[in-house]
Amino acid sequence: MTDQTRPGRLAGRTALITGASRGLGRAIARLFAAEGAHLFLTATNLAKLEETRGLCADAGVELHCHGADVADPEAVAALFDAAVSWRDGLDIVVNNAGIYIGKPFVDYELDELDRVMKVNVYAVFQLTQLAVKHMLGRGGGKIVNMASTAGKWESLNQSVYNTSKHAVVGLTRCAALETANQGININAICPGFVSTGMFDGLHEAAEALNVPVEELQQQVISRVPMGRLVTGEEVAHLAVYLASSESDGMTGQSIPISGGMR
């Protein structure tokens, strides 16, 4: 069967994707739609979210946009209820929303730690828990959490971000262990440096470190054995695999996609 005639790997399934207004979330949404998934898309910027919907429109799947700030637990609960009600259930949840604050450890403020943890950890915990409860009643499902190589080892000048992504990796492993024999697959993707909007966080980091952003970019790329940034589409292909039946034998994994960076 050729690529032109095979059914999409996510055909007929319903997926919730957070942080879908740009970057990795947008790339994942576009590829999920191309693979036949119906998409409930959420982000804080509804106008940008509508742009993502427009980019997915030609796929012939159902699409819904829902503006929400995942730092607010009540908003998270409301968006999940809306997603479940939209097409009478969810098969896939992609916890992609995230924020980055980079600076030396001694310069972080507690409110910055709180902000990052609310988006990068608490929202992932809450949505994963809600999804597990929902999927237990449906015979299973797929949960894909966006972690980072920052969740695998230490890094300079981003201790708060690394802390949050280590938490996502640990949460993924533990939740997967408890649901491994119940038809639910929970895995994490650990991108390295990606050529998406999140990479723009280097501007903030460069300012905090008082170095030119071009210099910091070169330092980053020099750490990647492939000599280039990973693309959003490459990460999206991994997300499709983890959301499809092809990965039924995998759970609790945190998979790097980093151009060989260790």
DSSP-assigned beta bridge partners for residue 67: 43
Q: Which two tokens stand for residue 92?
A: 């896939």
157 contacts 113 by C-beta, under 8 angstroms:
no
Q: Which residues contact 219 (CB under 8 A, 6 or more apart)?
A: none
Q: Is 100 a catalytic residue?
A: no
Question: What is the rounded CA–CA span in Å between residue 51 and residue 54?
Answer: 5
80 contacts 68 by C-beta, under 8 angstroms:
no
List 100, 108, 161, 241, catalytic entry: 161
Closest C-alpha among 188, 165, 166, 167 to residue 176: 188
User: Which residues have a catalytic role annotated?
Assistant: 161
